[in-house]
């Protein structure tokens, strides 16, 4: 079941970094993706002759997906802000035309903090992995 991203996240262009959330097991994990177009605003300067999606934006996309993994139906939107990441590795560049597939698995959830592992891939190949990413859910009530 697809979940409209703007029903959970308050982010909007240019910082809404998820196009679709395709699967959710509430409290456990979420899957989604972003279609990376040559027209993305960040390609104008990163880098003009060799456009590559910045790693910080891949990281932000994974963090945004974390909110869907713990969101409850009917709950108001809330912003997920990165509080810490134990380890992150980037394996391959993300290029214009790629579909960035995202996965976030919840490890724990205490109050407004959710800790999880995240992965980004293109065509089945891992491009980035984050271990023990802690996301602060600003505005999340009743967690």
**pLDDT tens digit sequence for 94-117:** 999 999 999 999 999 998 899 999
Structural domain boundaries in the chain: 5-138
> What's phi and psi for 99, nearest 5 deg?
-100, 115
Active-site choice (46, 71, 91, 109): 46
> Which of 6-10, 66-70, 80-84, 91-95 reaches the highest mean pLDDT?
91-95
- Per-residue 3-state assignment (H helix, E strand, C coil) for 95-143: CCCCEEEEEEEEEEEECCEEEEEEEEEECCEEEEEEEEEEEEEECCCCC
pLDDT for residue 143 is more than 50: no
Across 40-44, 86-90, 135-139, least confident range: 135-139
Token pair in block for residue 15: 């910082």
pLDDT at 79: 76
pLDDT for residue 141 is more than 60: no
Q: State what percent of residues in the chain have pLDDT above 90.
A: 71
The mean predicted confidence, pLDDT, of the chain is 92
Q: Is 46 a catalytic residue?
A: yes
- DSSP for 28-95 reads TEEEEEEE--TT-GGGGTS-TTS----HHHHHHHHHHHHHHHHPPTTPPP-EEEEEEEEEEEE-S---
CATH superfamily ID and name for 5-138: Hotdog Thioesterase (3.10.129.10)
DSSP state of 19: S
pLDDT digits (tens, 9 = 90+) for 6-61: 888 888 999 999 999 999 998 999 999 999 999 999 999 999 899 999 999 999 99
């Amino acid at each position: 079941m697809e979940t409209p991203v703007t029903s959970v996240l308050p982010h909007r262009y240019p910082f809404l970094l998820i196009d679709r959330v395709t699967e959710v097991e509430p409290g456990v994990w979420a899957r989604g993706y972003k279609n990376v177009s040559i027209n993305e605003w960040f390609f104008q300067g990163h880098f003009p002759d060799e456009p590559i999606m910045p790693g910080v934006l891949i990281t932000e996309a994974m963090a945004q997906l974390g909110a869907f993994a713990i969101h409850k139906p009917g709950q108001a939107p809330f912003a997920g802000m990165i509080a810490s990441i134990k380890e992150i590795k980037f394996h391959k560049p993300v290029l214009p035309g790629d579909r960035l597939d995202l996965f976030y698995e919840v490890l724990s959830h205490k109050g407004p903090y959710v800790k999880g592992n995240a992965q980004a891939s293109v065509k089945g190949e891992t491009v980035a992995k984050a271990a023990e990413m802690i996301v602060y859910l600003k505005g999340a009530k009743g967690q």
